[in-house]
A and B are shown apart, each in its own frame.
Chain A
Amino acid sequence: MSTETENPPADTKPKAQTPPPKPAPKKPETAPAELPAFEKSISDKIVEKFSDKVEVGFVKKDRVRINVGREHVHDVAEFIRDGLNYDHVESVSGVDYPQDNEIEVVYHIGSYTDSSLARQILVLATRAPRETNPIPGNDATRLPTLRDVFYSVEFHEREVFEMFGVFFEGHPDNRRLLLPEDWADLPPLRKDFAIKGR
């Protein structure tokens, strides 16, 4: 019995050592001394047009990140295409943030037609609410589709739908792409889907 009373201090020690692994929801703007001028001009144009509806995530060499709420993502994407000459989406990635109860969808947008933008990738990020018990297609995890703005997102958005359960409203072809037809588990790239045995 006496040993049990001695145990608690040893028990609390490892807990104090592990730092809380909580990533900040929005990236803090640690702006370096001078921002690259061309990239800054791109983000300035978007901020000028949409003022407080958008938030500049970062401005780095060749990369500009814009965070936007889901109610404005369609308008911002249209402006990026018509006003800034971006013409195709290279990649659509979902990122799951269970600690924020949100799923982030990140569009990497590039341009073939405008040679001054050939090196540039515009990162457009938006977030959808995350369900603890997802029913893909039938819950609040929804975003407007960008398929009518950028045709090239078609298959990418289908992939995000099956892998994260984000339903894209207005997408003409909301079907699974890679997963088997009889998949009846959580969307597999969400953080709460654990690989068996790990």
Chain B
Amino acid sequence: MTELPPGLALQKVDERIMTLNVGPQHPGSGHMRIIVQIDGDYIVACDPDPGYVHRGEEKMAEYRNYITNIPHLERPVIHDSCNILYPYVLGAEELLGIEVPERAKYVRVIASELNRCIYIMYWLAIYGIFLGHSTMFMWPAGDRELLIDLMEKMTGARVTHAHFVPGGVRNDLPPNFEDVCLRQVNYFEKRIKEYAAVFYDNPILISRTRDTGVLSRQDAIRYGTTGSVLRASGVDYDLRVKEPYDVYDELDVHTNVMKEGDSYARSRIPWLDMMESCNIIRQALQKMPKSGSVRVKLKPNPKTKGLESVYKRVESGRGSLGCYIVSDAKTEPYRVKLSVPSFRNLIALPNLLRGEKLGNMPSVYWSLNYWPVEADR
């Protein structure tokens, strides 16, 4: 048998495998590292490495009282700041035994839905630029301003609102807010419907995301995924319907579900969610009591009664967001744990990327609606 020249000899498999670090300073990964092993063009293994923006929010919460925890606990997702505070505020209210005025509950729903849209627009802009679609970066980034202006009128801040407090919301709505809000939300809805033609029906997007990173219904449940990832895999689960908090039980909320479980479904569900949010805002504006208090003032340094624990959860822009508070009759909570949707969805990433082409990594990764800063806390 003649010996093959060195270039033609078969390589052993383990020599072909190459390890690649994506991140933590890669525009395609955000502040996290994904260690992928590739064989040619195909990913054989993936190990996510979060933690580059871990700020110890949970530890900080043990040193501050129930009110002063508010501004820093929203930091993990500043562009969804109302929703990340929501379960903490609901939990603190149950521990401190506060009943919230009816009007405040409606203001919270409006703020929460506006914030959900703001978050999704930000996510959509980055998803667009990930896939090389510059229009889908510019349009959402511009249209997002409409809602940010509304939030600025409402709370005084453009991004970090710190609007929800135990007992209600910080400020009442400014005069004439209802009309402005209705007008801008109607325009916003008309505007995002146009995204279908340029993005969601675009054959290039469809060919890059259809049948990539397919998550079966069974796996979506087993991994404990949540939010748009779960609903794109055919599970009908939205906390606004299943465990309604505040006044969501008085509003008509439709859950968007798709069956495919691929990147395309995961990118489409948040867009459908925004239209549902517009519906909810219109309903809330109509049903809201036109006057009344929006906040129950707390005594300074409120204390809880004894060793108690509470677990509250809400549907945020990325999925179910839980907050577990343990209190022990002090002014500060004994332990605050945020169970964030980004962290919960991360477990799906290694399983979705295995066997995919490296070029599909951005579309799969960002379709998980993952926000690194939130996952790290």
Contact = CB atoms under 8 A, between A and B. Distances in A.
Interface of A: 21, 23-24, 27, 62-63, 65, 87-91, 93, 95-96, 106, 108, 112-113, 118-119, 121, 123, 150-152, 154-156, 159, 176-180, 188-189, 193, 195, 198
A155 B237 contact: no
Contact of B222 (A118, A123, A152): A152
Contacts of B237: 112, 118
Contacts, number: 96
Contacts of B329: 21, 23
Interface centre among B54, B60, B224, B235 (most CB of A within 10 A): B224
B54 A88 contact: no
Contacts of A108: 311, 322, 324, 339
Interface stretch (B125-133, B261-269, B340-348): B340-348
Given A178-B50, A189-B59, A62 B224 contact: no
A40 B113 CA distance: 35
A4 B242 CA distance: 67
A95 B224 contact: no
A155 B376 CA distance: 12
B326 interface: yes
B161 interface: no
B188 interface: no
A90 B346 CA distance: 13
B221 to A, nearest CB: 5
A90 B221 contact: no
Given A23-B307, A151-B224, 5 more contacts: A87-B221, A88-B222, A91-B339, A118-B237, A118-B243
Interface string B54-68: 101011100100000
B326 A90 contact: no
A90 B337 CA distance: 12
A113 B63 CA distance: 39
B235 A112 contact: yes
10 contacts: A23-B307, A24-B306, A93-B339, A112-B221, A150-B224, A151-B222, A177-B50, A178-B50, A180-B51, A189-B58
B233 to A, nearest CB: 10
A178 to B, nearest CB: 4
B335 interface: yes
A102 to B, nearest CB: 14
Nearest 5 pairs of A and B residues by beta carbon: A152-B224, A91-B339, A88-B224, A178-B51, A23-B307
B337 A93 contact: yes
Contact of B344 (A63, A152, A177): A152
Contact of B376 (A63, A87, A178, A195): A178
A123 B376 contact: no
Interface range, B side: 35 or more
A145 to B, nearest CB: 15
A65 B230 CA distance: 26
Interface of B: 50-51, 54, 56, 58-60, 63, 221-224, 226, 230, 235, 237, 242-243, 306-307, 309, 311, 313, 320, 322, 324, 326, 328-330, 334-335, 337, 339, 343-344, 346-347, 376
A198 B307 contact: no
B307 A179 contact: no
B324 A93 contact: yes
Nearest to A117: B242
Contacts of A189: 58-59
Nearest to A60: B310
A30 to B, nearest CB: 9
B328 A23 contact: yes
A88 to B, nearest CB: 3
B56 A118 contact: no
Contacts of A152: 222-224, 344, 347
Given A23-B334, A151-B222, A118 B51 contact: no
A91 B223 contact: no
B107 to A, nearest CB: 25
Contacts of A154: 347
B238 to A, nearest CB: 10
B50 A90 contact: no
B220 to A, nearest CB: 8
Given A21-B328, A95-B334, A119-B242, A90 B320 contact: yes
Nearest to A159: B343
Interface centre among B221, B242, B311, B339 (most CB of A within 10 A): B311
Contacts of B328: 21, 23
A25 B329 CA distance: 14
A150 B224 CA distance: 9
A179 B344 contact: no
Contacts of A23: 306-307, 328-329, 334
A176 B49 CA distance: 9
A90 B235 contact: no
A24 B51 contact: no
A93 B335 contact: yes
